[in-house]
Copies of this chain bind each other. A is one copy, B any other.
Amino acid sequence: MSHPLHEIAHISHAELLTPKAQESLRFFVDVLGMEVEAREGQSAFLRGWGDYQRYSLKLTESDTSGLAHLALRTWSPEALQRRVAAVEAAGLGIGWSEGDLGHGPAYRCTDPDGHVFELLYEVERYTPPEALRPALKNQPQRYVGRGAAIKRLDHVNVLAADVRPSRVFAQEQLGYRLHERIELDDGTESGAWLSASIAAHELIYTADAYGVRGRLHHLAFWVDTREECLRAADLFLDNDVPIEAAPSKHAIAQGFFLYGLEPGGNRIEVTTGGYFVFDPEHEPVVWSEAERRKGQAWGVQTVESFHTYGTPPARAPG
C-alpha cells in the first residue's frame, strides 16, 4: 500500500448552499433535529447532538443549491502540512484561508472534478449551554430528540464528470482508502466508496449523468438505529418532505438509507448501519453493471432521479 494512510481523521463539516434559506433552516432544525450553534452573515452553523465540534453543517443562503465546500480535519498538524504539500504538488491547491467560525487556518484546494475541499487541523470543541448539557459526560450534548434527531454528519456523496481521477486524488493526495467501486462494462468507473476510518464509506464519488463538474449527490446524516431511519420516514411524510427513496438497505456498503429533498433542493440521506473494514489489506470490492442491475440489497430499484439528479440542478446535455 503506497498510499498515505491515517492522514485525514474525518469530514469536519460541509457547507451547503440553498436558495431557500429559511425553509432549509426549518428542515435541518425541525425535521432533522439539528441545533443552530451560530449564525454569521448569510450562514447558519448547525450541529447534531453527537458532534464533538461546534458544527458539522454550514448552511449558506445563495442563489443556487449544492456544496460550497467540504472541510476535512487531519489527524495532526503534521498530517495537514503533508496533505497541503501533496495537493499543491498535484497542482490542485488554491491557498490558505484564515479560518472560519469554529476552526483555524484552512487550506483550500479542489479535487480534479472541481469540488472545493478545505484541509484543517485546529477546531473548537463544543461546549453546550446549560439547556443542552447532557446527563452522560462522555456525550457532547443532550439528546433532545426533536425530529429525526440526527447524531452527526456521516458521509458526503459528490458527483464527478469523471469519477476515476477524483477517486485517485482522494487516495493519493488525501489518503482515503478505497473500499468499493463500480466498473461499467466499457471499463468506466461510475462510482467509488472511500473512507478514512473503519466505516465502510465517508466520501463517495458517483458519475454525474450530465457530465457536469462539481456537483453534489447528497449529504448523509447519521442515526444510531434503523428504527430511527424508519421513524425519519414518518417525519418526512408528515412534514411534506419529498421522499425520493423510502428506507431500505444499500447493496454497496450495506448502509440503511432514507433519501429526501430539503427545501433548497439538495438531496439529504438519513443513514445508519453498514459494515466496518478492519482489514488493512482490504481489496476493493468491484461491482459490474450486471450486479448493479439487481438493485439494492433487497432488490429495490432506485428511481431514475437517484441516478441523474444532483445540485445545483443541471440540464441534460442538449
| A interface with B by C-beta (< 8 Å) | 1, 5-6, 9-10, 50, 52-53, 73-76, 125, 134-139, 142-148, 180, 197-199, 224-228, 230-231, 233-238, 240, 243, 246-249, 251-254, 273, 275-276, 278-280, 282, 285, 287, 291, 296-300
Contacts and interface: CB of A to CB of B under 8 A. Distances in A.
* Copies of this chain per assembly: 4
B180 A138 contact: yes
A246 B298 contact: yes
Contacts of A300: 246, 300
Closest 3 CB pairs of A and B: A246-B298, A227-B227, A10-B278
A138 B253 contact: yes
Contacts of A248: 246-248
Given A146-B146, A226-B227, 15 more contacts: A53-B279, A135-B237, A135-B238, A136-B251, A136-B297, A138-B253, A145-B145, A199-B276, A233-B297, A246-B248, A246-B249, A246-B299, A246-B300, A247-B247, A247-B248
A237 B250 CA distance: 13
Nearest to A274: B224
A136 B9 contact: no
Contact of A228 (B199, B227, B252): B227
A287 B285 CA distance: 42
Contacts of A240: 135
Contacts of A136: 237, 251, 254, 297
A249 B138 CA distance: 13
User: Which one of A10, A233, A297 has the highest number of Cβ atoms from chain B below 10 Å of its Cβ?
Assistant: A297
Contacts of A76: 1, 280
Contacts of A278: 9-10, 52, 73, 197
A247 B237 CA distance: 17
B6 A143 contact: no
Contact of A273 (B53, B224, B238, B279): B224
A275 B138 contact: yes
A50 B252 CA distance: 15
Contact of A198 (B50, B144, B199): B199
20 contacts: A52-B279, A53-B279, A74-B280, A134-B238, A135-B237, A136-B237, A136-B254, A137-B291, A138-B275, A143-B237, A145-B147, A197-B197, A197-B198, A198-B198, A198-B199, A226-B227, A227-B228, A233-B298, A246-B249, A246-B300
A142 B238 contact: yes
A280 B143 contact: no
A88 to B, nearest CB: 22
A28 to B, nearest CB: 15
A145 B246 contact: no
